[in-house]
Amino acid sequence: MAYWQWCLPFAASGLLFFSTASLVEAEGEGRMVRDRAMYLKHDGGTYTHYLELRADGSYRRMARGPQYSEERDRGTWQRTSSKNLLLRSDAHLRNIRAGDLFISMRQPERLKTLPDLKHRIQAFLRAHRSQEFPADDIERIRETAVGGEPSLKISDITVLGAKWVQRSDVEKLVREIDRFLASSEKNLFTLVPIEYKTATIYVDDDRAELTQKIIADELAGAAPSSSLAERYGYQEIGEAQFLKETSDSQTVSLPGETSEFRK
C-alpha cells in the first residue's frame, strides 16, 4: 500500500467526478481569462504543495520535502468567468473515483489496462451477489507487480478509509471507467474557489462538497479540530514567499518532452 499512499498527494489533486467537460462547454473557451500570475500553497504534512500559475498561461505543481523540491506536474491554465481554475496537464491524467473506490491514473500507460480492469470488475459482480464486500476483496480484483517484482504489489483499485464496500459503488465504478474512457478531457483538472475565514481557498472539484461541509460544521461548532478546511485546498501566497520556499532546496524537474495530452 505504500506506493499508492506516496501517490495520494497528487491523486488528491485529481480525484474526479467528470464535471469538468460540461463546465468547459458552459463557460465557453472565449470567456476564459488569465489576468495575472498566482502562487498557491497547500500544507500536505510531509510535503508542502505549491501551484505556480504564470501570466503566460503555463503552470507547474511542486512538492517540497525536507531536503528537496520536486516538480510533479506542468501544463497550461485558464480561469473561467465563475473564477474556477482549469489546469490542462502535460504529464498526468485525472483519477477515477466512485464512493470510497479510487483508481489512480498517475501513470498514463494505465489507460491501456482500464478495459481489462472493467471486465474483471464485472466478472466479480457476476460471481458475487452480496450487497457489500470486504475492502480486501475489492482491492484483490486485480493487483499489479511493482517494477516487475512479484512480491511487491499494488491494487489497481484502492479503497479509501472503509472496511466494507457497497455493491452500488462497485457498479458505479464501472460506469465511471466508461465515462473516463469516452472523455476528451482526461487531463483537465478543476480547482474551485471557496471562501473560508478571511481568505479564498482553491479546492479540487470533487472535494468541494466535502470542504463546504467541513466549513459548515466548523461554523456550527460540530467539526473536530483535525478537520480544518484549509487542509483540503490551496491558499494564495505572494511571489516572494513562493520563490523563497521553493528555492531553499534542490529542485527535481519533470522530463522536458512535449506532452501527448496537449490539445
The answer to the question of residue 257 being in a domain is no
pLDDT of 224 strictly over 50:
yes
Predicted pLDDT of residue 253? 67
pLDDT in tens, 161-185: 889 999 999 999 999 999 999 999 9
213 and 145, same structural domain?
no
Length of the chain: 263
Q: Give me the number of domains the chain comprises.
A: 2
172 and 193, same structural domain?
no
Comparing 28-42, 51-65, 112-126, 162-176, the range with the smallest average pLDDT is: 28-42
The answer to the question of residue 203 being in a domain is yes
63 and 125, same structural domain?
no
Q: Are strands 68-79 and 58-64 parallel, antiparallel or unpaired?
A: antiparallel
For residue 151, the surrounding DSSP H or E stretch is strand 149-155
Give the C-alpha separation, 96 to 103, whole Å. Answer: 5
Give the C-alpha separation, 217 to 27, whole Å. Answer: 31
Give the C-alpha separation, 207 to 79, whole Å. Answer: 19
**Grid cell for residue 149:** 517484482
Confidence band of 59 (pLDDT split at 50, 70, 90): very high
Predicted pLDDT of residue 160? 82
Give the C-alpha separation, 58 to 239, whole Å. Answer: 16
Predicted pLDDT of residue 110? 83
Tell me the residue range of the domain where 153 lies: 99-182
Predicted pLDDT of residue 152? 65
**Grid cell for residue 254:** 519533470
**Grid cell for residue 19:** 464535471
Q: Average per-residue pLDDT in the chain? A: 81
The answer to the question of residue 259 being in a domain is no
244 and 117, same structural domain?
no
Partners of 28 in the β-ladder: none
The answer to the question of residue 258 being in a domain is no
